[in-house]
Amino acid sequence: MAEREAADRHVPVMRDRCIRLLSLGAENIRAAGHRPVIIDATLGMGGHAEALLAAEPQVSVLGLDRDPQAHELAAARLAPYGDRFRGIHTVYDRVDEVAAEELAADQRVAGVLLDLGVSSLQLDEASRGFAYSYDAPLDMRMDASEDSPDESVAELLARIEVRELSQILREYGEERFAGRIAKAIVTRRESQPFTSTADLAAVVDRAVPAASKRTGGHPAKRTFQALRIAVNEELEVLRRTIPHAMDAVAPGGRIVAMSYHSLEDRIVKQAFARRTKSSAPTGLPVELEEHKPTFTSLTRGAELPDETEIAENPRAASAKLRAVEKLMITRRTQA
């Protein structure tokens, strides 16, 4: 039941391209005499993991997610693959630690997949409070378990001051009216705390000038995005994750990252650039080994989903895929 539910609810974004990129990484690891492991660092409901396990019978998958509900659904979906799949409840910036703890002596990390942002599971579950289109408790934590150390959006809004809130809305939501919205939220909070998504969405709606509501979707969209990013520390975690993932993969292994807004994509792009370009000072006559790139890019800029996929899966519309491979001497890189 849960297996079918997860498969029906989750359509993996750019699935075939992700699988091809990671499969070639697995081929490189096998050619080097090791057993390949793919780390799906954003497991969700297991759609990409299922496709990997089906396409690559010799590959094992470690699935990381901080959301206990995701593990429950993905475990049921991936049960037919037995011990080739293991789920690990953790934040994905621990990807290098997980690799060191979980891999056998003859295994190597052939790839890390990062499908960033909020998942279909979290958006579709009204009770999680991620969406302004449902009236629900104002939560938005990716890990909403009883022992989670994270505060909910309701708790954040109960204590935050105008200046800090305005900065969050401006930086994480790229919200033009951050100051107005922040003042409206704090002013309303003084008489009544925020407890529901509908309440917050209504206050934001009233704070945004009428002329600006004619385009761009719901006026609370950017505020909800910013608050979700803030309570889950998404960008801070991502900044730590990319270099940890690049450390974890073996030579010939690959990192595939899909982002859905400019803030995520910028972090991925800059982190990849630091290791795919020479760090030698300009004008140095000989490039020393420590300055040479340790990765090569597999994508020219960011790859986008095609029109057919967007029509079939509208959530793919904003996806940007970037991929890199750790350099090794004995094999040519294949894209």
37: closest CA among 107, 114, 113?
Answer: 107
DSSP string, 265-282: HHHHHHHHHHHHS--PPT
pLDDT digits (tens, 9 = 90+) for 184-238: 999 999 999 999 999 999 999 999 998 888 777 889 999 999 999 999 999 999 9
Q: How far apart are CA 261 and CA 273, in angstroms?
A: 18
Q: What is the arithmetic mean of pLDDT over 319-331? A: 83
Asked if residue 8 has pLDDT above 60, the reply is no
To the nearest whole number, what is the mean pLDDT of the chain? 89
The response to whether 46 counts as a known ligand-binding position is yes
* Token pair belonging to 26: 């697995």
The response to whether 48 counts as a known ligand-binding position is yes
Q: Is the pTM of this model over 0.85?
A: yes
Q: Which of 180-189, 200-209, 271-280, 325-334 shows the lowest mean pLDDT across its residues?
A: 325-334
**Alpha carbon separation from 224 to 98, 109, 211 (Å, rounded):** 31, 35, 20
pLDDT given for residue 331 in this prediction: 40
Interstrand relation of 60-65 and 107-115 (parallel, antiparallel or unpaired): unpaired
pLDDT given for residue 276 in this prediction: 94
The response to whether 25 counts as a known ligand-binding position is no
pLDDT given for residue 49 in this prediction: 97
Burial of residue 39, with CB atoms counted within 10 A of its CB: 0-12 exposed, 13-18 middle, 19 or more buried: buried
Residue 111 in contact with residue 250, Cβ under 8 Å?
no
**For residue 301, how far is the Cα from the chain centroid?**
18
pLDDT digits (tens, 9 = 90+) for 121-175: 666 666 676 777 778 999 999 888 777 788 999 999 999 999 999 999 999 999 9
pLDDT given for residue 307 in this prediction: 93
The response to whether 92 counts as a known ligand-binding position is yes
pLDDT digits (tens, 9 = 90+) for 86-135: 999 999 999 999 999 999 999 999 999 999 987 666 666 666 767 777 78
Q: How far apart are CA 292 and CA 319, in angstroms?
A: 30
Better-scored residue on pLDDT, 78 or 4: 78
**Alpha carbon separation from 23 to 20, 45, 109, 120, 190 (Å, rounded):** 5, 20, 12, 25, 55
What percent of the chain stands above pLDDT 90?
Answer: 76
The response to whether 65 counts as a known ligand-binding position is yes
pLDDT given for residue 333 in this prediction: 42
